[in-house]
Amino acid sequence: MISLALPKGSALERPVLGLLTAAGIGVRRASGRSYRASVDYGGPIQVVFLKPREIPPALEKGAFDFGVAGTDWIEETGAKVEIVEPVAAGEPWRLVLAVPDGGPGGLPPGARVATEFPDIGRQYLRGRGLAAEVVHSYGASQAKIPELADAVIEVLEPGVSLPPGLRVLDTVRTCAPRLVAGPHAWRDARKRARIQRVARLLDSVRAGAAHVLLTVRTSARELPRVAPALPPRSWRVGDVREDGLVVVQGLAARHGVAETIDGILAAGAADVVASPVGRVATRQPAPPSQKPTGREADQAVTHQPAPPPREPTGREAVRVVTHQPDSPPREPTGRGVNPSAPLRRESPPAVRPSGL
């Protein structure tokens, strides 16, 4: 069994749980107030909820195997942990230096700066050449102005304003969540393999959101013209149908997909269906020294061939764009495609294994 530490009582809690659910490995717990839970993926994973500041030191000490922590607390605690990969949960947040409204334009010499991040605060002040005193705060730093502090270094979440009476003077850090592992777990080949598999699933959600699945119908005669306009990661589905049509699918980057569809239709395709992608994951062989064995190998995620032809319907069909006959197809570019030959047959690729 391996153990996973997740943040509790912070803005990260809901996005991280949502990401795990989207990846197909949702957390099971008795209630939203429970501090213990479990995940079943490749065997049981014990889950514990901790305050964000507690997670990096707990991983370093070996109390838990891996977890999700913000880069602010990783830096502040100085814990020696392995950064496996970024986590696409929520938006980045900032640590900001804030001062009272109506005060001096900058931070006056000898000012007292209250913060929950004293080490980060001292590094920032030294780097700016500011002569100020850092006051370690254990929460509600802004309440210490003016009696105990003259300024604060506070977390500022996206879309959230500072309390009335404060204004941002500077951004100290921009922070984001990371999937991290304890050194002891990372040295264990079996635990490391399981952590990497979880990382791959989490990243597959990010990759899925960044892509659109295009299903293209074209005549076998027009296929040589259409092929160069298809996304680089495309594959032909099935053989030429009785009506002479060929079905091709491909993963297109969501950014710029409108231009991609325009190019496919201009090349002579009959129509294009754009569908959302939930996850994009791929299998890549592990290094020889890290290949799972025994039960781990039996539980490994296996490569699945491309699905049989299917035309998206209902809510899956985001939009269907049909080629207009009066639009002359553009001349083919690059090497043509033999209509009777397979077109880059492959399964939908995606995420690289993490932590290597």
Write out pLDDT tens, residues 231-252.
999 999 988 888 889 999 999 9
Q: Within a 10 A sphere around the Cβ of 320, how many other Cβ atoms?
A: 13
CA distance 86 to 175: 11
**Of 128, 126, 158, 156, whose CA–CA distance to 142 is shortest?**
156
- At residue 315, the pLDDT reads 42
- In this prediction, residue 103 carries a pLDDT of 77
The residue-averaged pLDDT of 316-322 equals 45
Mean pLDDT of 288-316: 42
In single-letter form, the type of residue at position 82 comes to E
For 186, the enclosing helix (H) or strand (E) is helix 183-187
pLDDT tops 50 at residue 159: yes
Q: What is the pLDDT of residue 239?
A: 85
Question: Helix, strand or coil for residue 174?
Answer: strand
Share of the chain above pLDDT 70, in %: 79
Q: Are 78 and 119 in contact (CB under 8 A)?
A: yes
pLDDT at 267: 96
- Three-state secondary-structure class, residue 110: coil
Task: Tell me the average pLDDT across 91-115.
Answer: 91
The mean per-residue pLDDT over the stretch 76-97 comes to 95
Q: Which of these, 1, 346, 330, 4, lies nearest to 198 by C-alpha position?
A: 4
The band of 14, judged by pLDDT with boundaries at 50, 70 and 90, is very high
What's the pLDDT score for residue 311?
Answer: 47
Please count the other Cβ atoms lying within 10 Å of the Cβ belonging to residue 333: 11
Please tell me the predicted confidence (pLDDT) of residue 286.
52
Apex 355 CA angle, 350 and 356, nearest 5 = 90
Characterize 248-257 residue by residue with b for buried, 16 or more Cβ atoms within 10 angstroms of its Cβ, and e for exposed. bbbbbebeeb
| pLDDT at site 32 | 85
Q: Is the pLDDT of residue 12 over 80?
A: yes
For residue 182, give both structure tokens.
């304890």
Q: How confident is the model at residue 206 (pLDDT cuts 50, 70, 90)?
A: very high
Q: Burial letters for 177-194: b for 16+ Cβ neighbours within 10 Å, e otherwise?
A: bbbbbbeebbebbbbbbb
* Preceding amide of 228 cis, omega within 30: no
Residue 3 has pLDDT above 90, yes or no: yes
Q: How confident is the model at residue 45 (pLDDT cuts 50, 70, 90)?
A: very high
pLDDT at 309 over 80: no
User: Encoding tokens for residue 98?
Assistant: 């804030």
Residue 99 has pLDDT above 90, yes or no: yes
Which residues have CB under 8 Å from 58's CB, separation 6+? 5, 50, 64, 67
The pLDDT mean for the chain works out to: 84
Cβ–Cβ contacts within 10 Å for residue 74, how many? 21
pLDDT (mean) for 302-316:
43
Tokens describing residue 84: 């496996």
Q: Residue 25 pLDDT more than 60?
A: yes
Of 68-82, 89-103, 255-269, 295-309, least confident by mean pLDDT is 295-309
Give residue 287's pLDDT band: very low, low, confident or very high (50, 70, 90). low
With a cut of 50, say whether residue 306 has pLDDT above it.
no
The span from the CA of 346 to the CA of 356, in Å, is 24
Structure tokens at 276: 């959302």
Q: Residue 51 is which amino acid?
A: K
In this predicted structure, what is the pLDDT of residue 9? 87
Mean predicted confidence (pLDDT) in 83-110: 91
pLDDT of 193 higher than 60: yes
pLDDT at 296: 41
Residue 324 has a pLDDT of 52
Weakest-pLDDT range from 250-259, 261-270, 334-343:
334-343
pTM of the model: 0.74
Classify the C-alpha dihedral 61-63-67-68 as positive or negative: negative
Return the pLDDT at 285: 58
Give the pLDDT confidence score for residue 234 in this predicted structure: 94
Q: What is the DSSP string of 59-84?
A: HHHTSSSEEEEEHHHHHHH----EEE
